Chain A
Amino acid sequence: KNEVEQSPQNLTAQEGEFITINCSYSVGISALHWLQQHPGGGIVSLFMLSSGKKKHGRLIATINIQEKHSSLHITASHPRDSAVYICAVGGAGNMLTFGGGTRLMVKP
C-alpha cells in the first residue's frame, strides 16, 4: 500500500463544474502539500497546510489530521485548470512523499 493515495487518478469535467480531488496518507506528517504540474514538467506549489483550510482564488484545500485525509477543491473549473494535481506529505526536513497524481482535464 502506498503511503500517499490519491483519487481519482483521472478526472474529466466540463467547464464550470466543481471539482474535488482526494488524498489519503498513512504516515505521520509535518505538512501536506498540493502541487500542480503542467505538461513539460514544471511543478508549482499551490498549498502547504498542516491543519484546517486554505483558500486561494478558486482553489480550496482542506485537511483532517485525525482522519489523515485532505481534499483539493476547484470551483468554477476552467480549461486552463487542466493539469496533474499532486498531493505530497512532508516529514522531517520537509522531504516529501508524493501521491501518484490526479490528471484533470476540463473541457470547454
Chain B
Amino acid sequence: DTGVSQNPRHKITKRGQNVTFRCDPISEHNRLYWYRQTLGQGPEFLTYFQNEAQLEKSRLLSDRFSAERPKGSFSTLEIQRTEQGDSAMYLCASSYRWGSGELFFGEGSRLTVL
C-alpha cells in the first residue's frame, strides 16, 4: 500500500499522559501536513513541513504539542500532558511540491482523553 499511513488508528489515554502519533507519507511527497478534526467540524490546520523543515505552525498548536519530521520522511506529533479538549481525530496529509498540489490524506488517528 503506497498511501499515507497513520498509527495508531485509535488511542485512548488518561488525562495527563503523553501520546505520540506517527504519519508515513507517500514516499516521494516532500510536503506533510497535520490537521485536527473534532466531531461535526471541518479539519483545522496544525502544522506543515516541507522536507524536514517545519514551515508553519498554527496558534492552535500549544506548547504541549510538538511535531517533527527528522529525515524528511515520516513525521510524529506528540501531545504532552493530554487534556480532555485534545480528544479529536488527528489527520495527516501529504503532497508533492512540484506536482498538482493534490493532497492525499491518511485515515487519521482518533484520540480519546478520559
Q: A90: which B residues are within 8 A, CB to CB?
A: 101
Does A95 lie within 8 Å of B56, measured CB to CB?
yes
Q: Confirm or deny: A94 has a beta carbon within 8 angstroms of a beta carbon on chain B.
A: yes
Q: B93: which A residues are within 8 A, CB to CB?
A: 43
Smallest CB separation, A19 vs chain B (Å) = 19
Q: Confirm or deny: A44 has a beta carbon within 8 angstroms of a beta carbon on chain B.
A: yes
Which residues from 19 to 51 on chain B have a C-beta closer than 8 Å to any C-beta of chain A?
A: 31, 33, 35, 37, 41-45, 48, 50
A93-B50, A93-B56, A95-B48 are known contacts. Are A42 and B42 too (CB-CB below 8 A)? no
Most A-side CB within 10 Å, residue of B42, B48, B93, B110:
B42
* Dominant SS among interface residues on chain B: strand
Does B105 lie within 8 Å of A100, measured CB to CB?
no
| Residue count of chain A within 8 Å CB distance of chain B | 24
Does A101 lie within 8 Å of B42, measured CB to CB?
yes
Q: B95: which A residues are within 8 A, CB to CB?
A: 94
Does B33 lie within 8 Å of A95, measured CB to CB?
yes
Q: Confirm or deny: B104 has a beta carbon within 8 angstroms of a beta carbon on chain A.
A: yes
Does A48 lie within 8 Å of B100, measured CB to CB?
yes
Does B43 lie within 8 Å of A41, measured CB to CB?
no
Q: Which residue of A lies closest to B93 (CB)?
A: A43
**Contact for A93 among B55, B102, B105, CB less than 8 A:** B55
Does B33 lie within 8 Å of A45, measured CB to CB?
no
- Tell me the complex Cα distance, A35–B102, Å: 11
Indicate with 1 or 0, residue by residue over B102-114, a CB within 8 angstroms of chain A CB atoms. 1111111010000
- Tell me the complex Cα distance, A42–B3, Å: 12
Q: Which residue of A lies closest to B3 (CB)?
A: A42
Residues of B within 8 A of A (CB): 31, 33, 35, 37, 41-45, 48, 50, 55-56, 89, 91, 93, 95, 100-108, 110
For the complex with contacts A48-B103, A86-B43, A88-B43, 16 further pairs of A-B residues with Cβ separation under 8 Å are A4-B42, A42-B105, A42-B106, A42-B107, A43-B43, A43-B93, A43-B108, A44-B105, A48-B101, A48-B102, A86-B42, A93-B31, A93-B50, A93-B56, A94-B103, A96-B43
